[in-house]
Structure 1
Amino acid sequence: MSITGHQIEFGWFIPTTGDGAYIGVKPERESTAEYMISVAKKAEEAGFTFALIPTGGSCLDAWITGSMIASHTSILKPLVAMRPGLIEPVLAARMAATLDVLSKGRALVNIVTGGSPDDLRATGDPLADHHDKRYDRTLEFLQIVKGLWDQQAPAEGNEFLAAHAAGSGKGLFYKGDYYAIERGASQPAPVQKPHPPIYFGGSSAAGKKTAAKTADVYLMWAEPLEWIKEQMEEMRDLLKKEKEETGVERSLKFGLRAQVLVRETEEEAYRAAWNIISKVDQRAVEQSSVRFSRSDAVNQKRQNKLRAQSADQDYFAGPNLWTGLSSVRGGGSLLLVGTPDQVSDRILEYADLGISSFILSGYPNLEESEITGKLLLPLIKEKRKTSALGGGHV
Structure 2
Amino acid sequence: MSGPTVYSTCPQSKDVAASEYLDAVAATARWSEEAGCAGMLVYTDNGIADPWLVAQTAIAATTRLAPLVAVQPVYMHPYTAASMVSSLAYLHGRAVHLNMLAGGFRNDLVALGDRTGHDDRYARTVEYTQIVTALLRGETVTRDGRWHQVENLRLAPALPPELMPEVLISGSSPAGRAAAEEIGATPVRYPEPLGSGADSDSPTGGGVRIGIIARDDADEAWRVAHERFPADRTGQVAHAMAMRVSDSHWHHQLAGVAKNPAPPAELGTEPEPYWLGPFENYQSFCPYLVGSHDRVAAEVARYLERGTEVFVLDIPPAAEDLGHAGEVFARAGAAARA
TM-score interval, smaller chain: 0.7 to 0.9
The count of residues paired between Structure 1 and Structure 2 equals 329
Pair 1:113 & 2:102 matched:
yes
Aligned pairs for 1:353-364 (under 5 A) are: 353-362=306-315
Which residue identity lines up with residue 288 of structure 2 in the other structure?
A: L
Give the AA of the match of 1:134. R
Q: Which amino acid aligns with 2:133?
A: K
SS in 1 for 2:74: coil
CA distance, structure 1, for counterparts of residue 292 and residue 286 of structure 2: 19
Partner of 1:216: 185
Q: Distance in 1 between matches of 2:254 and 2:241?
A: 14
1:345-384 alignment, distance < 5 Å: 345-362=298-315, 365-367=316-318, 369-373=319-323, 375-378=324-327, 380-381=329-330, 384=333
Q: TM-score, normalising length from structure 1?
A: 0.76
- Give the structure-2-normalised TM-score: 0.87
Look up the match of 1:301.
252
2:157 counterpart SS class? coil
- Residue identity in the other structure for 2:167: I
Q: Residues 158-183 of structure 1, C-alpha deviation per residue, up to 9 Å, x if partnerless?
A: xxxxxxxxxxxxx3211011111111
* Contiguous gaps of at least 5 residues in structure 2: 266-270
2:272 matches 1:276:
no
1:143 aligns with 2:92: no
Partner in structure 2 of residue 175 of structure 1: 144
Amino acid at match of 1:320: P
Q: Which has the larger displacement, 69-78 or 219-228?
A: 219-228
Cα 1:107–1:331 change in 2 (3 A) is: same
Question: 1:41-89 CA distances to partner (integer Å, 9 max, x unpaired)?
Answer: 1222222221111112422211110111011101211000111122111
Q: Cα distance, 1:337 vs. partner? A: 0.3
Which protein has the larger Cα radius of gyration, Structure 1 or Structure 2? 1
Mapped contact 2:95–2:163 kept (Cα < 8 A): no
Q: Which aligned pairs between 1:61-72 and structure 2 lie closer than 5 A?
A: 61-72=50-61
> Percent identical across equivalent pairs?
24
Partner of 1:231: 203
Is 2:6–2:37's contact at 8 Å kept on the other side of the alignment? Answer: yes
Looking at structure 1, the residues matched to 129 and 102 of structure 2 have their Cα atoms a distance apart, in angstroms, of: 11
Corresponding position: 1:323 with 2:310: no
1:257 matches 2:246:
no
- Residue 133 of structure 1 is aligned with which of 96, 120, 135? 120
Letter of the aligned partner of 1:381 in structure 2? Answer: A
Q: Report what 2:268 is aligned to.
A: none
SS where residue 192 of structure 2 aligns? coil
Per-residue CA deviation, residues 266-305 of structure 1 (Å, 9 max, x unaligned), is: 111112222223262x233112210132111101111111
Instruction: Quote the Cα distance in structure 2 between the aligned partners of 1:228 and 1:185.
Output: 46
Note if contact 1:202-1:298 (Cα within 8 Å) is conserved in structure 2. no
Q: By how many angstroms is 1:121 displaced? A: 1.1
Query: Is 303-312 or 132-141 further displaced after alignment?
Result: 303-312
Cα distance in 1, alignment partners of residues 310 and 119 from structure 2 = 26
